[in-house]
Amino acid sequence: KQEVTQIPAALSVPEGENLVLNCSFTDSAIYNLQWFRQDPGKGLTSLLLIQSSQREQTSGRLNASLDKSSGRSTLYIAASQPGDSATYLCAVRPPNSGYALNFGKGTSLLVTP
Partner 1 sequence: GAVVSQHPSRVICKSGTSVKIECRSLDFQATTMFWYRQFPKQSLMLMATSNEGSKATYEQGVEKDKFLINHASLTLSTLTVTSAHPEDSSFYICSARDRRSEKLFFGSGTQLSVL
Q: CB of residue 54 vs partner 1: minimum separation in angstroms? A: 16
| Structure letter (DSSP) for residue 83 | G
Query: Residue 74 and residue 57: Cα distance in Å, rounded?
Result: 11
98 in contact with partner 1 (CB under 8 A): yes
Which lies closer to partner 1 via its Cβ, residue 79 or residue 110? Answer: 110
- Closest by alpha carbon to 75, among 26, 36, 17, 29? 36
| Selected binder of partner 1 within 19, 44, 74, 85 (CB under 8 A) | 44
Contact residues for partner 1, defined by CB under 8 A: 4, 36, 41-46, 89, 91, 98-106
